[in-house]
Structure 1
Amino acid sequence: MSKLLVRVVLPLVAGGALLAGCTSTQGGTASPVQSPSASAPETSENSSSSGGGGTQSITDPCTLIEPGDLSSYGEFNPPRNQTVGGARTCNYQKKIASASDKSMVIGANIRDTASVDQVNDTGGGVVDKDINGRKAKEASGGASVAGCTVALPVGDSSRVDVAVIGVGTADEACQIAEAVAKSAVEPRLPKE
């Protein structure tokens, strides 16, 4: 009986004491704390400021790229919707049918608190682009990385990135990213 007491009751009492030491009572009405995102730029501007309302109205990144939009690049697995590094993402992984097939991932990444002016140089520089009349930025992986990102502004302080990785060259990745941005993603974005 004493072994049972030590194994069951003692941990419960110790856990209760720890929890009691971590709680306090405070009057008022409970409400969630609004904390800034770790990736948010330090500005006083709201991400849905002037210039089109930002990306907040896009609730699901997978509405920006649909499987039929990618059919000319091969067959893809179902989309994977997740949050990575503060971005809401939807990625499609190409199905590999044979050893000679190229691997490829095509995705849309919604960045609610990052403008196109904050696109990172991933090795091949950042250049200005025009995607269906929308002033965009393109970041190529260069010679060392077979990837490319086309960043489309949505409002003044948010953007949607069309990213392509895992193809033969960065130039090929940029051609695909631009094509997907023009035909699928940009037409589905809120107008500025």
Structure 2
Amino acid sequence: MRRRYTSGRLLERDLAPDPFDEFRAWLHDAVTMGMAEPNAMVLGTTGADGRPSSRTVLLKGIDDGAFVFFTNTASRKATEIAANPWVSLCFPWIAMERQVLVCGAASTVSREATLAYWLTRPRESQIGAWASHQSTVIGTREVLEASAAAVGERFPGEVPLPDFWSGYRVVPDTVEFWQGGVARLHDRLRYRRASGGEDSASGGQEDAWVVERLAP
């Protein structure tokens, strides 16, 4: 089935000076539109063996110039990040004929920040984090359910933060905004971090960005 892209245009004059401000505006549009899981993003990693892998995770915040998500530190994604911190994040907002692609380096957030988010999670999600030895092979669904039941019995009250669970922050080098266009003449505008910024490693307020148009 052929698709015609007619939702709009993306011009340089319409962009915010900072890619995070532009991203927040696009995320607001996705939320306002009622899109399911507007904060879902495809996280791409590459392990020490050079083989890429990807999976969908949820963006949980934008903090100090970084995109933040949380996961089990023994998972495949976390193991690959430990071996190679360079990752990509793709927000496929297909219903709006939009996509955002983030490329940068991932690192763990502080234990304090991880705990602050952990305490906002529903109890069942906390139990699930303890019950699942993420990315390991298990025999049946019943094994997982039994593990969750055991965790619930172990922690009848407050569920503590596991040592194997953490937040990750992705500080981007580039953030690309894609808007579908008529006749496949899509608009691709990429923010690229200018070299030499004093605070570029932390994604601080002193960052300077160059905007480039890419051929579709």
TM range (shorter): under 0.3
More strand by share: 2
Q: Report which structure shows greater RCO (CA 8 Å, sep ≥6).
A: 2
Larger Rg: 1
